[in-house]
Amino acid sequence: MRPTLNPEGSNFSDIVLVKLNQGPIQNLVGKVVFAEKRERKLVKRLNKIEGDDCWIESDADNTSKVYYDSHIFGSIPCEAVKGNST
């Protein structure tokens, strides 16, 4: 997502408000979500759901594949999506 949260070398801390999931995850397609992948916390857009897997992407143009999202690591389990932006 742009802008990058807590870019390297920044002197500030970003805060992201997250509404915990309270309904079917299908309702979150197209929304910005908060997910956890291993030790990383991710704020990305949920683009599609296939079975028990979710595809999340950065909002920026991803043709260069430099953003840490599903283009790099593939789909994530839907249970890794913890909430969405408020």
Q: What are 12-71's pLDDT values in tens digits?
A: 777 778 888 888 899 999 998 999 888 788 889 999 999 999 999 987 665 555 678 898
pTM of the predicted model as reported, rounded to 2 decimal places: 0.76
Burial class (CB in 10 A: 0-12, 13-18, 19+), 24: exposed
Do the beta carbons of residue 53 and residue 81 sit within 8 Å?
no
- Fold exhibited by the domain 18-85: Umud Fragment, subunit A (2.10.109)
Residues in the chain: 86
Measured between alpha carbons, how far is residue 77 from residues 12, 22, 28, 52, 74 in Å?
Answer: 31, 17, 14, 6, 10
3 confidence band (pLDDT: 50, 70, 90): low
7 confidence band (pLDDT: 50, 70, 90): low
Ranges of each domain in the chain: 18-85
Residue 1 is predicted with a pLDDT of 44
